[in-house]
């Protein structure tokens, strides 16, 4: 599979002037035409001021990988993930072992092979070198060794509550553990407090063996994992993070949600995505491998595409903060352009109420081949408001008095999803 990094293409608009530069004799029988003495009032959107779209490139990569550092393959370490995913043509990898076993001195692995043979159990209970005694810092060293101008390795962890749900956190200096911060069964408040707290600020949550003991995670960016999959009971009010109850303090850091996980299509996650967006979360679609074996970077697992300027941590922080991602089902390699009024996917637009906002999308395969399927523009509560049976979609939406979101769903000819592109959010201008 080739490295998918191609230039963003933005379609220009051409103004046509009918009859410009011609003259004719006035028709005395024609009714008089009222010529306005002043130009009419116009309504418009604030101009785009983010990263120039012509500087953005498509980077396809993998997210949510596991190794012997938690419950993955018991002989693997993050460096193995990075090497194989890079060899298979991926541009980036987000490693995210469960934080349950990341504390320094906790050398055990809990992969499934630990319990199948005596040798497996011995392997999981025996330190395999100094890296297994300091997994968090060892991961940082392996990331530094793997990253270069053509590949980005990213350190993260999976916060694992089997009542509220799982969350991946990337880029943070410190980490937290649901088994010790009360999040496994009791409360979400400790984790939200940790995620909103500065790395050098000590408080509830966090880890005693993190670089800053009990330091916060406000330098991290996070996404919701496989919604609906980790609930003790459907009637538990805590299920799916209290049904996606909005937490304003961490809205900016919670940048995404998995729409695909592993090799399955998982369209059942879409309703959760709509619920979270309707409740005010500003989320971008993620396609995660969630690989616990050794098929890291394989074509049979979901992928995420990030629109960034380059393969650096700074560029990816900016891209994920700006919600410029889309999720692809396994084996699908697409280039998707989706924008509203020249603002790329993930943007927040401020438009006067009543503005007709142009929305455009185009899709093609990364190998240059034509796309066959349908494009759908989806808005609040999952309503499909526009659809195209070609590789392009062009329509307008009218801005209103309240915030509203719109995202692009890409389907195959049978109506099954292939990809989800990040929404754009359109809202009235803020008061001065």
Q: Which secondary structure element, helix H or strand E, spans residue 397, and what is its range?
A: strand 392-398
Position 349 scores a pLDDT of: 98
pLDDT confidence of residue 273 = 98
pLDDT at 233: 86
Phi/psi for 115 (5° steps) reads: -115, 15
Strands 221-224 and 254-261: parallel
Residue 84 is inside which H or E element, if any? helix 78-87
Which tokens belong to 233? 């009971």
Q: Which of 323, 312, 245 is nearest to 282 (CA)?
A: 323
Residues 6+ positions from 289 with CB-CB distance below 8 Å = 62, 63, 64, 65, 262, 295, 296, 297, 298, 301, 302, 303
Burial code of 342-373, b = ≥16 C-beta within 10 A, e = fewer? bbbbbbbbbbeeebebebbbbbbebeeeebeb
Rounded CA-CA distance 246/306 in Å is 25
Evaluate whether 225 touches 165 at the Cβ level (below 8 Å): yes
- Contact (Cβ atoms closer than 8 angstroms) between residue 292 and residue 111: yes
Look-up of token digits 């909005």? 246
Question: What domains, with CATH codes, occur in the chain?
Answer: 53-331 (3.20.20.140), 334-432 (2.60.40.1930)
SS3 17: coil
Residue 119: left (phi > 0), alpha (psi -120 to 50), or beta?
Answer: alpha
Contact in structure between 355 and 398 (CB atoms under 8 Å): yes
pLDDT truncated to tens, each residue of the chain (432 aa)?
A: 445 444 333 333 223 333 333 333 333 333 333 333 343 344 489 999 999 999 999 999 999 999 999 999 999 999 999 999 999 999 999 999 999 999 999 988 899 999 999 999 999 988 777 788 899 999 999 999 999 999 999 999 999 999 999 999 999 999 999 999 999 989 999 999 999 999 999 999 999 999 999 999 999 999 999 999 998 888 899 999 999 999 999 999 999 999 999 997 778 899 999 999 999 999 999 999 999 999 999 999 999 999 999 999 999 999 999 999 999 999 999 999 999 999 999 999 999 999 999 999 999 999 988 899 999 999 999 999 999 999 999 999 999 999 999 999 999 999 999 999 999 999 999 877
Question: How distant, in Å, are the alpha carbons of 44, 176, 212 from that of 209?
Answer: 52, 10, 8
| Euclidean distance between the first and the last CA atom of the chain, given in angstroms as a whole number | 50
Cα separation, 222 vs 244, in Å, equals 14
E-assigned strands of 13-150? 57-65, 92-98
Question: What is the predicted pLDDT for the residue at 5?
Answer: 47
Evaluate whether 288 touches 256 at the Cβ level (below 8 Å): no
| Residue 182 · residue 206 · CB < 8 Å | no
């Amino acid at each position: 599979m080739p490295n998918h990094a191609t230039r963003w293409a933005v379609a220009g608009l051409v103004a046509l002037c009918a009859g410009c530069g011609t003259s004719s004799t006035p028709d005395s029988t024609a009714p008089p035409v009222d010529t306005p003495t002043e130009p009419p009032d116009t309504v418009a959107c604030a101009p785009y001021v983010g990263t120039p779209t012509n500087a953005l490139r498509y980077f396809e990569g993998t997210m949510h990988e596991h190794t012997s550092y938690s419950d993955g393959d018991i002989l693997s370490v993050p460096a193995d993930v990075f090497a194989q995913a890079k060899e298979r043509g991926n541009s980036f990898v987000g490693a995210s072992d469960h934080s349950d076993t990341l504390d320094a001195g906790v050398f055990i692995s809990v992969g499934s092979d630990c319990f199948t043979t005596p040798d497996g159990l011995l392997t999981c209970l025996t330190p395999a070198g100094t890296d297994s005694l300091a997994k968090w810092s060892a991961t940082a060293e392996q990331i530094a060794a793997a990253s270069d101008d053509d590949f980005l390795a990213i350190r993260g962890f999976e916060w694992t509550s089997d009542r509220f749900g799982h969350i991946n956190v990337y880029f943070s200096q410190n980490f937290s553990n649901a088994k010790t911060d009360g999040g496994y069964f009791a409360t979400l408040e400790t984790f939200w407090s940790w995620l909103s707290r500065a790395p050098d600020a000590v408080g509830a949550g966090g880890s005693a063996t993190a670089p800053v003991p009990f330091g916060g995670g406000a330098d991290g960016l996070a996404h919701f994992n496989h919604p609906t999959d980790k609930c003790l009971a459907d009637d538990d009010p805590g299920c799916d993070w209290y049904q996606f109850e909005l937490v304003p303090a961490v809205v900016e850091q919670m940048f995404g949600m998995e729409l695909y996980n592993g090799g399955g299509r998982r369209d059942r996650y879409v309703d959760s995505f709509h619920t979270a967006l309707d409740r005010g979360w500003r989320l971008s679609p993620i396609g995660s491998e969630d690989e616990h074996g050794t098929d890291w970077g394989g074509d049979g697992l979901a992928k995420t595409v990030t629109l960034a300027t380059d393969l650096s941590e700074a560029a990816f922080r900016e891209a994920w903060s700006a919600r410029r991602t889309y999720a692809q089902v396994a084996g699908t390699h697409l280039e998707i352009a989706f924008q509203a009024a020249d603002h790329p996917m993930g943007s927040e637009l401020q438009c006067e109420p009543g503005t007709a906002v142009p929305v455009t999308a185009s899709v093609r395969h990364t190998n240059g081949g034509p796309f066959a399927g349908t494009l759908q523009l989806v808005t609040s509560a999952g309503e499909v408001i526009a659809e195209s049976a070609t590789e392009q979609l062009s329509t307008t939406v009218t801005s209103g008095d309240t915030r509203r979101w719109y995202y692009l769903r890409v389907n195959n000819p049978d109506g099954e999803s292939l990809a989800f592109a990040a929404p754009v959010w359109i809202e009235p201008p803020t008061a001065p």
